[in-house]
Chains A and B, each alone.
Chain A
């Protein structure tokens, strides 16, 4: 019997013997509860109870990301994300952050191609207050010029610490899409040119808020230890009277079919070893080819059994590791609306040419295009995909599940699809994999980005 202390969050540890372990049934599955509803103002709401720990995750996803920011305002979607912490009707600058923290929670926000999210992971008994606070900043911002100036400086320092003062800082996540895509919306510098960040005004902030930060352009997800009915009442109470925003016209973000391989070389003055990245354009989200690419990723790239690891690392020693995947470094297979890339990248030694690495990649990828994948490899890919999905679900105390639910609500209007992913992978055949590989792993569907160090001298100042 565990002791319970009288505390905000009581803790007790019992080192007693216990009887039952996990379910011994082979191939246990996982089905998460999903409630999907919407308010009259268009706010979509997803609830998923999980009473494992007395915590709750609130995740508010707005249907706006890098892709739709206006020309002349690169980086604005992300700069705007920072503004959401700088004051709303009832909370002054950073009071939102302080409220979450002093109630025992953590929080963050992030900007991606197709959404901007805000999330809090908090003790369950503080949930109502957090919902109130999220509703407060959806209702309206109160931003001053000095707050904008401050966060512009913070964001510039973010770009410096992650990109400008780091070797391989923008490689390949920031650089590759700029080369691989044709459409400006997919191919601009989404961290932001400093001149564009400097040009951003309070009017831009207000206009962006009015256009995109409205209930009919958002999905609210709550995961964790709560009662759904009561939580839905709170959501109606706090969000229900926020007025609907204008219908947002979307820019065309489509890409033409790629017909020729692209190659580009960029110089990184801070790096001292060359690197190469290959990016293949992904099929349309949710298509049979899309899911097949999910399994091809497992076969070719994920884990030490993957063909590229075996060929490049284990057998030839060209690099210590190959990284990448679908929507790599910014997300996963599930949380992009597309267009997106499947990428593989590595750092190698001077004296090894890009061509020689591409030749090894080709020898592996061509196998997937020429031969049917054997049944054992296919089954292993499905197992890895299922296991990786469970890791996404468990990631970061409920946030991972919230991210999946929000993505399937935003992109497919069907958050319960999270429970069908495993079955979808089971249905992918070897013939499908081959068809997908033939179309999407074509050399003419890819971009090869080479990173050259400014000099290959070792260490010291340049």
Chain B
């Protein structure tokens, strides 16, 4: 497995709290701000082919590169309970060459464009593409089309790819964050693919070539697919390439996956990791998804509570207590469902105190609205982040495919900053009361049974489990 590229030795993108920006006594005040500059979302051109595939072009930036990405409405969500990672294995085999190019030829052609063609499988979406030098954008469109439409799916490569998946699984089951998240999701979505993060070795071994081929036939098709080209490129040539490469793509789609509903699983689960120097915490519960009217206010509330460096929980357990390095809360969205989770890796001997402080901050926000000044900082922060999220080729494609997945219109983006700024202190308190209900939260802790486990007893009945075995 590829070691994750880390932000090493950094202050940490988690980030901090505390009121008052008053300068120290007798000090200099910071200089005034300038006039805010307008930000226009990049303009887009969009058209849909007769077979249902949508094409979006976004000219952006000055760097002579283009992001070319085909997003397919399939992913782990389409897996049955006994075939976890079938979507991933299918993606692996799709990348093993086409009926006219072997895998090395695909790699070599993409490299000659200054890119590489990669396929990533997520829970709800599968993304195929890469970043190439601008003059090669139409060629990349054609290469992607060949890969997804005419894969050779060579049976001869399947065992090697399964071995790679088994090795990756084996490594994953030793990572405390992965173990904790897998357990958390399994409890939150007990009867849905969203809850099935890790397979077993036997399960991967049992995935046949027929199953892979069938998965590709069923789930790789034009209906609901979306091709994005963002950056600098010859628009006419890209438009023509997209039409030529995809307009005669037909496939019998079978793409409706069951909608998930998350379970309120107010449990405490402890995953044993003997001698661990830290406890890895996941504390959270189901919340509303992006199509709900409370979603933006929920994001503001999350950023204030634990979702930014200047948030309350980070200020408390990192900058005041020193219990942890990178605590973070977030709202994680799937199709028509979402969950809120606070994560942290805390020194084992302060597992209990760290949880006390997290619950304390949740209760504090539920019991009183935040000061206007604190909230104003959070609103500005999210408005600033929004500009950044829409100021890179990859970010723009990410934002547009987010709308696509959740069935939102462009007004979500055009109205986003207004909605952020409209959130009041009272609304933050209402959101905290409505959605951050400690009694309904699921807590999963991976840590040392001798040191950490006894500290959890005061929070309720603890179910102790062995870590997932590959």
Interface residues of A (CB under 8 A from B): 2-5, 7-18, 20-30, 50, 52-55, 78, 81-82, 85, 89-95, 97-99, 101-112, 121-129, 132-133, 136, 142, 149-158, 160-162, 164-168, 171, 173, 191, 225, 270-273, 303-305, 309-310, 314, 317, 319-321, 323, 329-330, 345, 347-349, 379-380, 383-384, 386-388, 390-391, 393-394, 397, 458-462
Contacts and interface: CB of A to CB of B under 8 A. Distances in A.
B34 interface: yes
A157 B104 contact: no
B214 to A, nearest CB: 24
Contact of A461 (B164, B315, B466): B466
B444 interface: no
Given A11-B413, A101-B310, A129 B33 contact: yes
B65 interface: yes
Given A8-B36, A22-B233, A110-B7, A458 B470 contact: yes
A348 B166 CA distance: 11
Contacts of B32: 128-129
Given A383-B111, A394-B61, A347 B320 contact: no
Interface string B361-403: 0000000000000001110110111111011110000000000
Given A11-B414, A161-B326, A272-B174, A125 B376 contact: no
B200 to A, nearest CB: 9
A104 B246 CA distance: 41
B111 A397 contact: no
A311 B418 CA distance: 54
A391 B115 CA distance: 10
B111 A384 contact: yes
A164 B176 CA distance: 11
Contacts of B251: none
B39 A9 contact: yes
A120 B392 CA distance: 17
Given A98-B21, A125-B33, A380-B108, A90 B322 contact: no
A397 B65 CA distance: 15
Interface stretch (B131-139, B204-212, B290-298, B330-338): B131-139
A90 B3 CA distance: 41
B104 A317 contact: no
Contact of B167 (A18, A23, A309, A349): A349
Contact of B10 (A8, A108, A349, A390): A108
Given A160-B278, A459-B470, A2 B41 contact: yes
A18 B467 CA distance: 54
18 contacts: A3-B414, A10-B417, A18-B45, A22-B137, A22-B232, A85-B11, A108-B7, A125-B33, A128-B34, A157-B345, A165-B276, A167-B174, A317-B164, A387-B133, A394-B61, A397-B392, A458-B170, A458-B201
Nearest to A96: B16
Given A94-B310, A320-B167, 5 more contacts: A28-B64, A81-B11, A106-B388, A273-B167, A458-B470
B250 to A, nearest CB: 28
**Interface of A: prevailing SS:** loop
Interface centre among B30, B390, B414, B469 (most CB of A within 10 A): B30
Interface of B: 1-3, 5-13, 15-18, 21, 23-24, 27-41, 43-46, 57, 59-66, 103-104, 106-108, 110-117, 131-135, 137, 160, 163-165, 167-168, 170-171, 173-176, 201, 231-238, 272-274, 276-278, 280, 308-310, 315, 318-326, 345-347, 376-378, 380-381, 383-388, 390-393, 410, 413-414, 416-418, 421, 466-470
A104 B383 contact: yes
A97 B417 CA distance: 22
A335 B238 CA distance: 36
A97 B308 CA distance: 10
A317 B156 CA distance: 12
B469 A7 contact: no
A243 B190 CA distance: 63
Contacts of B27: 89-90
B311 to A, nearest CB: 9
A101 B30 contact: no
A316 to B, nearest CB: 9
B63 to A, nearest CB: 5
A11 B15 contact: no
A54 B387 contact: yes
B309 A15 contact: no
B384 A104 contact: yes
A21 B9 contact: no
B133 A151 contact: no
A425 to B, nearest CB: 12
Nearest to A192: B9
A54 B38 contact: yes
